[in-house]
């Protein structure tokens, strides 16, 4: 009887601990910043891939990631990717042991891969709880709205154990060049043509008095 009561007490204690820990930890989230951005056809836009919800001076921290960013190739073209937070630095390289990153480009997606070489304790104790994983640059090819999606292949903590994350999509609006700018440019071209014609015209002789 006493033994059963002790077992029940231990089970209740463990379950309570797990529930409280889950409530305090919160979900890890990966998304875009800004979530929605726009630009004119023919220009380029930058968008950050942000991770948040990690531990602050404690586990969980991020040890590695592998995910795909999907987009509409009729509207966008991948240009480049740069890894690390521009303000906080490379949060996968806290201890100075380096990190490995790799970018694989397909027609309508780009795969981002990163792996830390740091000690687990360094990542847990010193990694920021929210930071930029990578900054992507896209060229705007045509007018329209391209959704930005995330397909998670792998996300691991400092010990290489799987992390679960909420994925938040985004979008890029590509707008035509404003017609007023086109008219302004056409007007400037016309004025320039008239000036050239005036300079090349043969001046008429002044009549003698």
Per-residue pLDDT tens digits for 53-72: 999 999 999 999 999 999 99
Flag whether pLDDT at 20 surpasses 50. Answer: no
Flag whether pLDDT at 34 surpasses 50. Answer: yes
Q: Which two tokens stand for residue 191?
A: 């004025």
Flag whether pLDDT at 90 surpasses 50. Answer: yes
Flag whether pLDDT at 7 surpasses 80. Answer: no
DSSP codes of every residue in 37-76: EEEETT-EEEEEEEEE---SSSS----EEEEEEE--TTTE
pLDDT value for 177: 87
Domain architecture of the chain: domains with CATH: 27-196 (2.60.40.680)
pLDDT value for 11: 32
Burial class for 204, CB neighbours closer than 10 Å (0-12, 13-18, 19+): exposed
pTM score: 0.75
Ramachandran area for residue 188 (φ above 0: left; ψ -120 to 50: alpha; else beta): alpha
């Amino acid at each position: 009887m006493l033994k059963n009561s002790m077992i029940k007490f231990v089970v209740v204690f463990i379950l309570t601990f797990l529930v409280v820990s889950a409530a305090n930890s919160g979900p890890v989230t990966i998304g875009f910043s800004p979530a929605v951005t726009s630009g004119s056809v023919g220009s380029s836009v930058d968008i950050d891939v942000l991770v948040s919800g990690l531990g602050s001076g404690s586990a969980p921290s991020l040890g590695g990631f592998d995910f795909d960013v999907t987009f509409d190739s009729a509207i966008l073209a991948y240009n480049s990717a740069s890894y690390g937070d521009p303000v906080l630095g490379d949060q996968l390289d806290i201890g100075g042991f380096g990190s490995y990153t790799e970018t694989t480009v397909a027609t309508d997606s780009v795969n981002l891969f990163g792996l830390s070489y740091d000690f687990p304790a360094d990542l847990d104790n010193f990694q920021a709880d929210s930071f930029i994983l990578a900054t992507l640059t896209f060229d705007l090819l045509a007018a329209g709205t391209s959704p930005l999606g995330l397909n998670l292949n792998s996300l691991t903590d400092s010990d290489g154990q799987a992390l679960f994350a909420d994925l938040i999509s985004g979008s890029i609006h590509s707008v035509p060049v404003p017609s007023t700018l086109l008219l302004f440019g056409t007007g400037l071209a016309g004025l320039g043509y008239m000036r050239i014609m005036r300079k090349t015209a043969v001046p008429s002789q002044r009549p003698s008095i």
